[in-house]
Amino acid sequence: MSLRQKTAPFLETIEDAVLDGLHGRSMLLTDDWSRAEVEAVANVAATLELLDRRGVPTQFLANELLYALFFDNSTRTKSSWAGAAVRLGGHPMVVDGSSTQVAHGETAEETGAMLGMNSHALGIRHDLILGEGNKFMRSVKAGIDDYLRQGGETRTVPIVNLQCDIDHPTQTLADLCWLRERFPDGLSGKTIAVSWAYSPSYAKPLSVPQGLIMLMTRFGMNVRLAHPPGYELMPQCMESATKHAAESGGTFTVMKNMDEAFAGADVVYPKSWGPYDLMLERVDANRQKDTERMKDIERRALERNRAHTDWICDERRMKLTGRGGALYMHCLPADIGAEVSAGVLEQFRFSLAREANKKVYVIMALLAAAKTTGLRSKLFGLAASAR
Ligand code: CP
């Protein structure tokens, strides 16, 4: 099949008006975008992947500086940002947030003005403290926009949320792309179990399960959220998931039992996150810069986790899923022997890598849509001219 034929199902479903509406847009929460906009990005990502795998250059952002600021560790997202930037012909710069003057108290607005004047798009990860990450990103954006407006500049510098306290959009959009590929007949009516799982390593952010329940409920999926008592998610995300499920014809159900969540599921996404009350307590300790209290909160979070070591995705639980053959997903890294058994992880090793590989194309799609005019016809042109 020619590249033109392969890309046609994706490109032909994108409405020009929807794609044009993404020009200059930041991705701060998937909830800020319409379902049509999310689908347009997924279709652009799928097209870019096909072009990339065929070796077709997609240099829409030549000579642009694509700057990313990380206030937390990362393997996949950092390299996906760099990989996306280079594939688009831009120059990536990935910076440790703690090495910037933010650590000395420079405001988010001022940081935004400085980074915005020098770069053409910005990625930010700021995920550790509830109530802060997404707010920081919005303040950075306000700083950029204010600087550009006052200088009479018409260019825009979009921000891509590379994980915040509320959402992890490039992860959940990558997950959506992987699900669309694995279930080509559609996601409507499919059941996904988003379950808490035991971790001894650290109190992990809430943003992945929150992002998943907010996004997958928009596609008619039956989303089950399971966790032990005390591991609730942010109320605004729960409300969003409930609303989306009602609108899409899907369902959103909260369960207290991992077996029940896995029973008959088509997809399972078991991963750990921190106890909600301790994540809230961390907000105050962080504000006071009380490092001893931060350490104590982390110690108590791991102690709390240890009461639920039986929340593991293992072979027995996978047998409970639909025909014993659910798709296992994880944003990675996974705690092997705690969140998931070594055997299940090994069985899905390549599948997990393909899931992770979608992120580079999602970031490319977000940046290309935000910064390229006439993107759909340009993509058609590249697909048509490829050998
Ligand atoms: N899933 C994910 O965001 O991985 P990293 O933390 O390695 O970026």
53 CA to middle of ligand 1, Å?
22
* Closest ligand 1 atom to 75 CA: 7
Q: Are residues 246 and 216 in the same domain?
A: yes
233 CA to middle of ligand 1, Å?
20
Q: What is the mean pLDDT of residues 277-287?
A: 95
Q: Measured between alpha carbons, how far is residue 55 from residues 49, 183, 386 in Å? A: 10, 26, 9
Overall pTM surpassing 0.85 (yes/no): yes
Contact 183, 190 (CB under 8 A): yes
Q: Are residues 117 and 228 in the same domain?
A: no
Q: Is the pLDDT of residue 387 over 80?
A: no
In sequence order, which residues have a C-beta less than 8 Å from that of residue 85 and are 6 or more positions away? Answer: 61, 66, 91, 92, 367
* Closest ligand 1 atom to 163 CA: 3
Contact 249, 220 (CB under 8 A): yes
Neighbours of 32 (CB within 10 A): 13
Q: Is the pLDDT of residue 29 over 80?
A: yes
Q: What is the mean pLDDT of residues 32-36?
A: 98
- State which of 70, 77, 127, 207 you would mutate to test the pocket of ligand 1, scoring each by most atoms of that ligand within 8 A of its C-beta: 77
Mean pLDDT across the chain: 97
Q: Are residues 158 and 299 in the same domain?
A: no
Q: Are residues 254 and 202 in the same domain?
A: yes
Q: Are residues 301 and 213 in the same domain?
A: yes
Q: Which residue type occupies 237?
A: C
What is the DSSP secondary-structure string of 114-182? HHHHH-SEEEEEE-SSTTTHHHHHHHHHHHHHHHHHHTT------EEEEEESS--HHHHHHHHHHHHHH
Nearest CA to ligand 1 atom 1: 331
Name the domain count of the chain: 2
Q: Are residues 287 and 367 in the same domain?
A: no
Q: Are residues 329 and 369 in the same domain?
A: no
Q: Are residues 117 and 227 in the same domain?
A: no
Q: What is the mean pLDDT of residues 351-368?
A: 98
What is the DSSP secondary-structure string of 73-93? --SHHHHHHHHHHHHTT-EEE
Q: What is the dihedral of CA 41, 46, 48, 54, to 10 degrees?
A: 180
Confidence of residue 311 (pLDDT cuts 50, 70, 90): very high
Q: What is the mean pLDDT of residues 93-110?
A: 95
Structure tokens given for 318: 């996978």
Q: Are residues 316 and 370 in the same domain?
A: no
Domain housing 154 = 3-167+359-385
Distance CA 283, CA 92 (A): 32
76 CA to middle of ligand 1, Å?
5
Per-residue pLDDT tens digits for 199-222: 999 999 999 999 999 999 999 999
Point out which residues pair with 192 in neighbouring strands. Answer: 223, 267
Q: Are residues 192 and 301 in the same domain?
A: yes
Per-residue pLDDT tens digits for 219-274: 999 999 999 999 999 999 999 999 999 999 999 999 999 999 999 999 999 999 99
Burial classification of residue 294, based on how many CB atoms lie within 10 Å of its CB (0-12 exposed, 13-18 middle, 19 or more buried):
middle
Structure tokens given for 204: 């992990």
Per-residue pLDDT tens digits for 317-345: 999 999 999 999 999 999 999 999 999 99
Q: Are residues 9 and 124 in the same domain?
A: yes
164 CA to middle of ligand 1, Å?
12
Per-residue pLDDT tens digits for 56-85: 999 999 999 999 999 999 999 999 999 999
Instruction: Kindly report the CATH number assigned to the domain that includes residue 364.
Output: 3.40.50.1370
Nearest CA to ligand 1 atom 4: 76
Distance CA 252, CA 215 (A): 11
Distance CA 178, CA 194 (A): 16
Q: Are residues 217 and 149 in the same domain?
A: no
356 CA to middle of ligand 1, Å?
9
Q: What is the pLDDT of residue 386?
A: 87
